[in-house]
Amino acid sequence: MFQMNAWYVGARSDELGTRPLGRRVCGLPMVFYRTGAGQVHALEDFCPHRGAPLSLGTVKDDRLVCGYHGLEMGCDGKTVAMPGQRVGRFPCIRSYPAREHHGFVWIWPGDPELGARTPLPEFEWLGNPAFAYGGGMYHIQCGYQLMVDNLMDLTHETYVHATSIGQREIDDTPCRTQVTGEHVVTSRHMQGVAPPPFWQAALRMNGLPDDQPVDRWQICHFEPPSHIMIEVGVALAGRGGYEAPDAVKAASWVVDFITPETETSHWYFWGMARRFRVDDPELTAQIQAGQGRIFAEDQDMLERQQRNLLAWPERSLLMLNIDAGGVQARKVIERRLAAERIVVTA
Please give the tally of structural domains in the chain. 2
Type of residue numbered 143: G
In 3D space, the residue among 266, 291, 279 whose CA is nearest the CA of residue 144 turns out to be 266
- For residue 2, the tally of other CB atoms under 10 A from its CB is 24
Q: Both 101 and 139 in a single domain?
A: no
CATH number at residue 251: 3.90.380.10
The answer to whether position 346 is within a domain reads no
Same-domain check for residues 145 and 89? no
Q: Are residues 148 and 109 in the same domain?
A: no
Q: In degrees, to the nearest 5, what angle opens at C-alpha 317 toward C-alphas 315 and 321?
A: 170
Beta strands in the chain (DSSP E): 8-12, 21-25, 28-34, 40-44, 58-60, 63-65, 72-73, 79-81, 95-96, 98-101, 104-107, 132-140, 176-180, 183-193, 214-223, 227-236, 249-262, 265-274
Residue 127 lies in a domain: no
For residue 283, the enclosing domain spans: 132-341
User: Is the domain of 52 the same as that of 152?
Assistant: no
Q: Is residue 329 situated within a structural domain? A: yes
Q: Are residues 175 and 78 in the same domain?
A: no
Whether 172 and 305 map to the same domain: the answer is yes
pTM of the model: 0.95
Pair 41, 33: CB distance under 8 Å = yes
Would residue 59 count as lying in a domain? yes
| Phi/psi at 197 (5° precision) | -55, -45
Same domain, 180 and 34: no
Same domain, 92 and 146: no
Q: Is residue 186 located within the same domain as residue 93?
A: no
Same domain as 176, residue 106: no
| pLDDT (tens place) for every residue of the chain, 346 residues total | 899 999 999 999 999 999 999 999 999 999 999 999 999 999 999 999 999 999 999 999 999 999 999 999 999 999 999 999 898 889 999 999 999 999 999 999 999 999 999 999 999 999 999 999 999 999 999 999 999 999 999 999 999 999 999 999 999 999 999 999 999 999 999 999 999 999 999 999 999 999 999 999 999 999 999 999 999 999 999 999 999 999 999 999 999 999 999 999 999 999 999 988 899 999 999 999 999 999 999 999 999 999 999 999 999 999 999 999 999 999 999 999 999 988 665 5
Are 140 and 281 found together in one domain?
yes
In angstroms, how far apart are the furthest CA atoms of the chain?
77
